[in-house]
Structure 1
């Protein structure tokens, strides 16, 4: 069975990490497929939003610890010596492109955190625009527990989401926190009951996917720029985006619908 499942419903692309027996720990196949699907979705006009979630009871446990052990023991025995440090860095960076695309693609991205999210799995969730957590979700950086420093952009994302001091605490101590605490500190946007989790995630995702997607693309670019740019630069960007979205069919339809006191029908153009 494939390590990544895909489904499109109501203009929402669902990407489901699919190694439930290992809490969806990452594999090379999974990350390659994730990068490929995100790349295609970024330019597909039929996709209005992307939801990343996990199969079974977990979101993503991060790296496969069993695979790490086998690799380390193989290296100790002299196996795999042909792979240089540069090769390993390049391989990791290819997988990390998933985080970059979740963060930068013009489509809204949603992490549906149905269970434990740890290590690089948490990093993937944090790279998304919105995190909706089941009340069964658990969050942990985990890297310190296995002697790693962290990857997939987690140190950047967590710092921007919860602040430097809290991010340092969560990375250094690697404590696991529940969904309610994640909501309190700003790591999760919403917490919903496990029983209604899938329905509530789809309601939010389809609302975005069928909304003014061109405007959302400009919004996302501005919000990303706001993390690192000065106020004056954002004013320039906003003026440009506001002018460009004002020329869209979606804008004209929304104005007409408002005056006619009816819901607008957006077409993404």
Structure 2
């Protein structure tokens, strides 16, 4: 299977599973992501989502070999690409915390897949490249949107135009990554972080994500109105009540996502 899904302890893991092709994105992967992400977002048993790769790479991006056999009219190919874009849209709109566990190289659309996640944790040995210019493309899957917001528009344009590889420490420095972890500690750190997110106040996380989405394009009055609305809604949740009780009782809260 090109996309392997597992669920353990409230953490759903979607593993890109084409190690022989550096996990280049296949049609089956796109279909799997488009189906799985909204479903996992609705599933009350899922409290956090991890996306990672099998083998030494996270994702090499589009399957360049498959590009040679394109068929169909320009309109048909446009519609097909827009359908594939649904995977990124679903990921960016997912109400659950999403973690890109970047176990190796991330390039092109594979890099964008990581950028669309809430948190990006990479191994020390990971490498990153926009790669689109290298194959005569301008870029797709929303990379210009995500990268501009993470590293700034000038740096994002530089990364696209020069298409130079950067290492994990440079990616961290410019704001592309959340953190970098030694290769030997990577699996443990991902498990620890995913468990922390899954055991946290997931309703609050959902509204945090919505607040920041509004903040990216909204005005201050719009942000204040959204924050007030979400904050008042959260006062009615069991998680808020539990947090208050735990504070009074001087113990750690036990959140259920309710």
Query: TM-score interval w.r.t. the shorter chain?
Result: over 0.9
Counterparts in 2 of 1:39-58, with a 5 A limit?
39-58=38-57
CA distance in 2, matches of 1:136, 1:6: 25
The alignment of Structure 1 onto Structure 2 pairs a total of residues equal to 258
- Report the TM-score, using the length of structure 2 for normalisation: 0.98
Instruction: Please give the secondary structure, in 2, of the residue aligned with 1:226.
Output: helix
CA distance in 2, matches of 1:255, 1:94: 44
CA distance in 2, matches of 1:8, 1:262: 28
Check if 1:226 corresponds to 2:226.
no
Please provide the CA RMSD for this pair.
0.8
Instruction: Please give the secondary structure, in 2, of the residue aligned with 1:59.
Output: strand
Q: Shift of residue 204 of structure 1?
A: 0.7
Unaligned runs of 5+ in 1: 72-79
Counterparts in 2 of 1:211-250, with a 5 A limit?
211-250=200-239
2:128 match: 139
Instruction: Please give the secondary structure, in 1, of the residue aligned with 2:38.
Output: helix
Of residues 177, 186, 189, the one that matches 1:200 is: 189
Check if 1:70 corresponds to 2:69.
yes
Choose 54-63 or 204-213, whichever is displaced more.
204-213
CA distance in 2, matches of 1:190, 1:18: 24
1:253 match: 242
Q: Shift of residue 6 of structure 1?
A: 0.7
CA distance in 2, matches of 1:137, 1:40: 30
1:114 match: 103
CA distance in 2, matches of 1:208, 1:86: 42
Counterparts in 2 of 1:12-161, with a 5 A limit?
12-71=11-70, 80=71, 83-161=72-150
The C-alpha deviation readout for 1:131-166, integer Å capped at 9, x for no partner, is: 001101111000000001111110100000000110
Instruction: Please give the secondary structure, in 1, of the residue aligned with 2:158.
Output: helix
Q: Shift of residue 206 of structure 1?
A: 1.3
4+ residue segments displaced more than 2 Å: none
Q: Shift of residue 66 of structure 1?
A: 1.1
Q: Shift of residue 93 of structure 1?
A: 1.3
Q: Shift of residue 202 of structure 1?
A: 1.3
The C-alpha deviation readout for 1:70-110, integer Å capped at 9, x for no partner, is: 33xxxxxxxx3xx2212111111111111112111111111
1:168 match: 157
Q: Shift of residue 247 of structure 1?
A: 0.6
CA distance in 1, matches of 2:69, 2:81: 17
The C-alpha deviation readout for 1:181-203, integer Å capped at 9, x for no partner, is: 00000000100011110110111
CA distance in 1, matches of 2:257, 2:54: 31
Instruction: Please give the secondary structure, in 1, of the residue aligned with 2:216.
Output: coil
CA distance in 1, matches of 2:51, 2:85: 15
